Amino acid sequence: MPLLCKDCNGRRFPIAFPDQRDALWLCENCKNFVNIKDEFVREWTEEEIKENKSKLENFQKDVTTEKTPEIKRRSGVN
């Protein structure tokens, strides 16, 4: 499995696409995908990069929220 990127030696992440039988492996440094045989498939598109960024920001917001005690208080208890 193409767990490591041949170009930068970074970690690749499997990304599942509904229209693909197998997941594609993304390198966030090189911004490209390879298939399960480690063959180049395509570039990581601007749109996907933006989408990924907003997902990440949402995730970080969630984490921050959980750590804030005021917000964690159950609603309707006062």
Positions that interact with Zn ion (CB under 5 A): 5, 7-8, 10, 27, 29-30
- Write out the two tokens for 9: 């030696």
Between 45 and 60, CB nearer to Zn ion: 45
Task: Give min distance, CB of 25 to Zn ion, in A.
Answer: 10
Q: Which residue is nearest to Zn ion (CB)?
A: 5
Exposed / middle / buried, residue 34 (Cβ in 10 Å: 0-12, 13-18, 19+): buried
Between 29 and 64, CB nearer to Zn ion: 29
